[in-house]
Structure 1
Amino acid sequence: MNFKLPIRDKLLRFLGPTRMIALSFVLVILVGSFLLWLPLSQNPGMRASYLDSLFVATSATCVTGLMPFAVIDQYNLIGQTVIIFLMQIGGLGLMSLLALFLTLMRRKLNFSEKKMLQDSLNKNDADNIPNFLKSIFRYTFIFEAIGMVLLALRFIPEYGLTQGLYNSVFLSVSAFCNAGLDNITRSSLMAYATDPLINFTVCGLIITGGLGFAVWFDLRRVLPEKKKFSWKRLWTRLSLHSRLVLVITGALLGSGTLLILLVEFTNPDTLGWMSFPQKVMAAFFQSTTLRTAGFSTIDFSMLRGASLFIMLFYMIIGGSPGGTAGGIKTTTFSMLFVLIVSEIRDAGNMTLFKRTLPAGTFHKAFAVTLTYACVLIIAIFLLTLSDPEIGFLPIAFEAFSAIATVGLSAGVTPLLSALGKIVIIALMYIGRVGPITIVLSLMRMKQNRKTNNLVYPHGDVLIG
């Protein structure tokens, strides 16, 4: 019998999961850039080039936040709505949206589709994908709705009911998706540097989106207990992944806040003019936004060199797997740290929270980090050639911010040349999709059984 495969099955078999993920972002970016380039999306008298439209579409879809101009200056209601959809699609993934649509239409997902979604969602297995997707979208919209309501308490009195609600929706989606874009001012959230409601609402959305879906569901699993509540019992029932993510996220937020506070404490152009509680809040906000969110309540072009240098490392670590944040991820950083400590101690097994970790986890962490480093070296080299008038540290900051999908800038984004913008576009795309995904999507992984079964003699190489 000759069975005819549906088009979606043929497409998945031909392209494979990694290529489908990579191409889905390309498709969204190209459609978004065309819509943003159209005059009907732009304010009267404003006409952005296609390269700038492509830059903005990539920034929104890859939830980065770098912009060659302010959203409020360039785009009208139509253009801003396009950006909202790009941020939402970029944060959740086009493949996830299509799979949810098929699920709601009572269409079953085949094995290839489940494998693709497993890869795109960073899920350990392909079990119960439809319910997992529904939960992701349900919680996403719940968190964004809560953020919208809290932000509306400030924006409705300031901008009126309609515009205030719209601004609240835009900022809530952007913050939860870690996109870093706003449609309110020309200077991010600097006008609200001392406003606790805006600061802590945005921080809450950033952290929630950056923790990852797996951590939400794990917390949901252990929280509704009928027995007497105990923090110790809660902690021990969490998975190893959730405990690691929560510990590293807390450590990064706390140490980042402290370092920014110490370095910028007396800087009159950043924290120096604030009261002590306001300084702590502002330092915490910048530490949170380094989790790949891209908002700022201080002028990053006025930061001291030491702050910019420290922020490079926080940006590249980023958020956690399976969420809306970028970077190499907190768990990757943790594995590298555990590996170094184990080597120093000459420990036989590598353990964490009394659990032995497989060697493959460390190999993958090392591969991800090394790939990011290689891409960054090439990109910074190209940027120093294309834009030699910009200093090295601001250029490096821009490159780290782009590949980690952070969106913070030391004020150089509008100054970039055409080639410089193309390099940043490439970095934002690579950072969102993942460098290893990009490499795999460009290769056809053909298994050669004879080669795989060969075992060569052992050899020794001196290290260090």
Structure 2
Amino acid sequence: MELNVFEKLKRNPPLILGISFACLILIGALLLTLPLASANGKSVGFVNALFTSSSASCVTGLVVANTKETWSFFGKLVILFCIQVGGLGTMTLLCLIYLFLKRRIGLSERIILKEQLNTHTLTGIVRLIRALCLFTLVIEGMGAILLSLRLIPSYGLKLGIGYSIFHSISAFCNAGFDLFGNSLVSFQSDPYVNLIIMALIMVGGLGFQVYIDIYEEKSFKKLSLHSKMVIETSLALVFFGGLAILLLEGANPATLGNKSFLDKTLMSFFQSVTARTAGYNSIAIEDMTPKASMVMVFLMFIGGSSGSTAGGLKTSTFMVILLTVLASIRGQEDVVWHKRKIGQGTIRMAFVMFFICVFLVLMTTFLLVVFEDGKNSFDLFYEAVSAFATVGLTRNITSGLSTASKLVISLTMFLGRVGPTTVALGLGRKSKKQRIHYAEGNIYIG
């Protein structure tokens, strides 16, 4: 007897996750289309609303118009709602609604939550959701309080509190939306604001499983292999990324050239952190040198960590691929990290993810080149990587994109948020046992 559509969906959690994000984007787009959402009382049009909703829901930060000037208070609330739900995950919101209504969370919902949170067990999944939401509330609350100490004196009590809450949520969720009108350029030499935003970005980008592991183990040595890999890789990328930007961009008068050494260092490391899918910028991205811009592309493509609010290839995936390549060069059979062997299934999935991500970036770039004839190809490539990795940095071309390109970028942001993981999970499912085994053939590589 054939399963109905609903039953088929229940048996395909990755597909449900994709549909739930699509619904969030559509709802946000419809609300942002309303004249009430616009600062001038006129609808921005469905395509612009869809683009903005996609960017907020997929915690990207690319915008077709200045957020501060374009949207009304209602519109900004819609954007903030999409950021928060998109950062935590749509199924997390559903779970919270179930808990609020005191409804039982069934097995199918628990399986979907497991897929979304990237956990390996259903045990304690509801307790994990509660801890996740409490952790998010505490971190965002602390960020808002700390930011308000600086923003209230500058913008007054009402705006200062509102700006603090908005930017704390946006930074923690790695969204990159701002209400200052120029991202963090106005605060480029302010270590207080920069360090708070950087801390929120890094905490949001490590992944909730890492913090649960830290809370339970209390010692780095006892952490899981995944947590160790995420922490060490993240710190290494921030350090070497910041150092590379400082060295390659330090003499550029359009960005860092006229700054003091301390300001250069702060701004370089801020860009290194924010390139890990956050999307804030304290310098003009379009004025950066090609060398430093390629460093940014590299950092954007890798992104944050699995199970976090960040996008991209993911730090653990990147590290598994790097370790595999190094092991192959050295002629080693096993891929080892911290005296632990990495399984062949994990390695295979890492390369599948890498292929999907590269293909998506190249296809997006190709379509943008087709639709944006005359625009700089590197700028379009930068935009494609930023959209895929849900970063939100741009070389100042987003607002001038055609309708077709806006739709392409919207789709890329959606796929970047849920697509690679969804596809990988689908491919990683156990299929029926292969009954026929064929003779091995030789293929020459390289």
TM-score by length of 2: 0.96
- Equivalents in 1 of 2:99, 2:109: separation in Å? 12
Partner residue, 1:74:
70
Q: Which residue of the other structure, out of 281, 303, 307, is the alignment partner of 1:322? A: 307
- Equivalents in 2 of 1:362, 1:141: separation in Å? 35
Offset of 1:436 from its aligned partner?
4.9
Partner residue, 1:97:
93
Partner residue, 1:21:
17
Deviations 1:215-264 (A, max 9, x none): 111111233xxxxxxxxxx2211111111111000000000100100111
Q: 5 Å matches for 1:347-386?
A: 347-386=332-371
Structure 2 gaps of 5+ residues are none
Contact 1:315 1:406 in 2 (8 A): yes
Partner residue, 1:190:
185
The amino acid that maps onto 1:97 is: L
2:199 paired with 1:204: yes
Partner residue, 2:435:
453
Offset of 1:76 from its aligned partner?
1.0
Contact 2:349 2:424 in 1 (8 A): no
CA RMSD for the aligned pairs? 1.9
- Equivalents in 2 of 1:48, 1:304: separation in Å? 34
The amino acid that maps onto 1:322 is: G
- Equivalents in 1 of 2:421, 2:239: separation in Å? 30
Contact 2:10 2:16 in 1 (8 A): no
- Equivalents in 2 of 1:189, 1:87: separation in Å? 18
CA 413–360 in structure 1, closer or farther in 2 if over 3 Å, else same: same
SS at match of 1:334: helix
The amino acid that maps onto 1:254 is: F
Residue-pair matches, total? 443
2:115 paired with 1:119: yes
Partner residue, 1:273:
258
Partner residue, 2:445:
463
Partner residue, 1:52:
48
Partner residue, 2:286:
301
The amino acid that maps onto 2:250 is: F
Contact 1:212 1:321 in 2 (8 A): yes
Offset of 1:105 from its aligned partner?
3.6
SS at match of 1:43: coil
- Equivalents in 1 of 2:423, 2:162: separation in Å? 36
- Equivalents in 2 of 1:50, 1:174: separation in Å? 23
The amino acid that maps onto 1:210 is: G
Deviations 1:354-376 (A, max 9, x none): 00111000000000000111111
Offset of 1:127 from its aligned partner?
1.2
Partner residue, 2:140:
144
- Equivalents in 1 of 2:246, 2:353: separation in Å? 31
Partner residue, 2:210:
215
Q: Which residue of the other structure, out of 325, 328, 333, is the alignment partner of 2:318? A: 333
CA 51–364 in structure 1, closer or farther in 2 if over 3 Å, else same: same
Q: Which residue of the other structure, out of 28, 33, 38, is the alignment partner of 1:37? A: 33
- Equivalents in 1 of 2:87, 2:202: separation in Å? 14
Partner residue, 2:161:
165
SS at match of 1:390: coil
Structure 1 gaps of 5+ residues are 224-233
The amino acid that maps onto 1:433 is: V
2:391 paired with 1:406: yes
Structure 1 vs Structure 2: percent identity of aligned residues?
A: 38
The amino acid that maps onto 1:40 is: L
SS at match of 1:293: coil
